[in-house]
A and B are shown apart, each in its own frame.
Chain A
Amino acid sequence: MNNELKELYQQVILDHNKSPRNYGKPGEFNHSAEGYNPLCGDHVDVYLVVDEGIVKDVRFEGSGCAISKSSASLMTTIVKGKTVEEAESLFEDFHDLVTGKLTDEEKIASLGKLGVFQGVRDFPARVKCASLPWHTMKSALRDEPTKVTAEP
């Protein structure tokens, strides 16, 4: 397989695509938002339980490509237990990572598993796939209206 493709479809990504974590609407949640990408039809619902500024639980549901699904799945595993501020700042870092703005190796390493999405920067058409779940989570945290659309 081509190297760029290998970078994009890393094992971790393929694994989360196959068996997404924290999938399905929870019985209880106090923040939620619906993300939708009108260009490709990708759709994701993000549900959060936030208590005293801490993300106690986060789950998602939806349909999309391997990149958006695995991004949503990894996001839920990473954000759980973080403060709202930490979650939002992770969003910024993630966004910089997939758009190629974040190049500092140490910083990338500090993002842990999220680093697997670095390959996305070589696929401008797929950036929105990776970032849709994050945009949606941010809207949910801020109780902004539903139907978030990812950047073009």
Chain B
Amino acid sequence: MINTSTKTKTDASENLILKDTSGFDAGSIRKDFPILNTTVHGKPLVYLDNAATTHKPLVVIEKTREYFEETNSNIHRGVHFLSQKATNEYEEAREKVRSFINAKSLKEIIFTKGATESINLVASTFGRMNINAGDEIIISYMEHHSNIVPWQMLTQEKGAVLKVVPINDHGELEMDKLPGLISEKTKLISIVHVSNSLGTINPVKEIIDLAHSKGIPVLVDGSQSIQHLKIDVRELDCDFFVFSGHKLYGPTGTGVLYGKEELLESMPPYQGGGDMIAAVSFEKTLYNELPFKFEAGTPNIAGMIGLGAAIDYVRGIGIEKIASYEKYLSDYAASHFVDIPKFRPIGSAKEKVSVFSFILAGIHPHDIGTILDFEGIAIRTGHHCTQPVMKRFNIPATARVSIAMYNTKEEIDHFVRAINKVFEVFA
């Protein structure tokens, strides 16, 4: 039986210390995000859909604008001034990413268009090379579709097997089931660090240690952890780590694949084209060195430079400070959400980020979303690209509030008040 509401209630009241000790000034942070001044249906925007994408601070907007106004050129191929400048800035962004996740080498940082492409890259290179008929890949029940479908396509192509770690009623991985799923046939574990629909923080370090004790590499989908948690890929010792820049206050169309150098070296290229080659003749192509081997074609230069600016911005505030403020707001939200009638949280893991999926008994999430929209509130409704999670909880969809560093207590209060409008319509 799934009845998580009582549990959450005690959790929330235990956390009622609700003192913002972070010294965090959300008010001044908000000034960095011009879009937060927007009104929607005549009401001030209350943006609570940050797990879908975050807004962009001025520094990111200005950096990309400046790039187009003062730098725009193709990279890695010109001797002229602007091309050199663009190349430098693009490569500086790579260094910013490397240092942000503490990778050993710049060779380990592959730029992609997003987490989805990063996972597909690994599936079609590492996967095609290493997964054969009868081999097994382990994922979990709470994966985003982008960490399910590429592996499904691969296992179907190869006659391999996809195994799935189940989740419990709180939306936590059933870690005791994992050892039983691992066999000599297991060639990869690909697991989400933080669930986008449940908010659960998974014990990825534990999974990686267990996998490595059996010689199995691990891919971590960090799409929902990179903006909330300090990430150190060397400490985690993950073999691959992927994320999208647009959920980290950067532009859309930017993504990162981190891979251990020796693994990336061993992998065949992903796409063929310019930039990924050292020399081409019709008989043979010599591939470029890392990371360029995996970056065919003209990339999203402005976007990646913008992502570099986003990382500077986040580091300037401090990811720990952000996390601590988000925790404070989450506790505040949780303590108020339990008082909403008919409120059923979906996902009540002990370790969670500021993501709250819920349903209101008898009212479909879409209707909630439409009515809240008229109060200026943006939330996500639907299955959040995690249909197996919906099936696990036997619901078609949820409404989801996801909180970022620029949200405030007042916005949470506004949300709770606005929920009353939903009850007014569906009285």
**A interface list, Cβ under 8 A from B:** 1-2, 4-5, 8-9, 14, 17, 39-43, 63-67, 69, 123, 125-126, 129
B367–A41 CB distance below 8 A: no
**B interface list, Cβ under 8 A from A:** 41, 363-367, 370-371, 374, 381-383, 387, 390, 396-397, 421, 424-426
Residues of A within 8 A of B396 (CB): 40-43, 63-64
Residues of B within 8 A of A67 (CB): 366-367
A1–B424 CB distance below 8 A: yes
- Supposing A64-B364, A65-B367 touch, asked if A5 and B425 sit within 8 A by C-beta, the answer is yes
Q: How far is the CA of A80 from the CA of B252 in the complex (A)?
A: 49
Q: How far is the CA of A64 from the CA of B365 in the complex (A)?
A: 9
List 18 extra interface pairs beyond A9-B425, A43-B396, A126-B366, CB under 8 A.
A1-B424, A1-B425, A2-B41, A2-B374, A4-B374, A40-B383, A41-B387, A42-B366, A42-B396, A63-B364, A63-B396, A65-B364, A65-B365, A66-B426, A67-B366, A67-B367, A126-B370, A129-B366
Residues of A within 8 A of B370 (CB): 5, 8, 123, 125-126
Residues of B within 8 A of A69 (CB): 364
By beta carbon, the residue of chain A nearest B41 is A2
A5–B426 CB distance below 8 A: no
B426–A41 CB distance below 8 A: no
A40–B425 CB distance below 8 A: no
A66–B381 CB distance below 8 A: no
A1–B426 CB distance below 8 A: no
B424–A40 CB distance below 8 A: no
Q: How far is the CB of B136 from chain A (nearest CB, A)?
A: 28
Residues of A within 8 A of B41 (CB): 2
Partner of B366, one of A1, A14, A43, A65: A65
Q: How far is the CA of A70 from the CA of B94 in the complex (A)?
A: 52
- Supposing A40-B397, A66-B364, A67-B367 touch, asked if A1 and B421 sit within 8 A by C-beta, the answer is yes
By beta carbon, the residue of chain A nearest B383 is A41
Residues of B within 8 A of A39 (CB): 382
Q: How far is the CA of A8 from the CA of B424 in the complex (A)?
A: 14
Residues of A within 8 A of B366 (CB): 40, 42, 64-67, 126, 129
Residues of B within 8 A of A65 (CB): 364-367
Q: Which of A1, A2, A39, A42 has the most CB of B within 10 A?
A: A2
B367–A40 CB distance below 8 A: no
Q: How far is the CB of B425 from chain A (nearest CB, A)?
A: 5
A14–B426 CB distance below 8 A: yes
Residues of B within 8 A of A43 (CB): 396
Q: How far is the CB of A55 from chain B (nearest CB, A)?
A: 27
By beta carbon, the residue of chain B nearest A125 is B370
Q: How far is the CB of B148 from chain A (nearest CB, A)?
A: 14
Q: How far is the CB of A137 from chain B (nearest CB, A)?
A: 20
Residues of B within 8 A of A129 (CB): 366
Q: How far is the CB of A102 from chain B (nearest CB, A)?
A: 22
Ranked 9 nearest A-B pairs via Cβ: A65-B364, A65-B366, A41-B396, A41-B397, A41-B383, A2-B374, A40-B382, A66-B367, A63-B396
Q: What are 27 contact pairs spanning A and B, CB under 8 A?
A: A1-B421, A1-B425, A2-B374, A4-B374, A5-B370, A5-B371, A5-B374, A5-B425, A14-B426, A40-B397, A41-B383, A41-B387, A41-B396, A63-B364, A64-B366, A64-B396, A65-B364, A65-B365, A65-B366, A66-B363, A66-B364, A66-B366, A66-B426, A69-B364, A123-B370, A126-B366, A126-B370
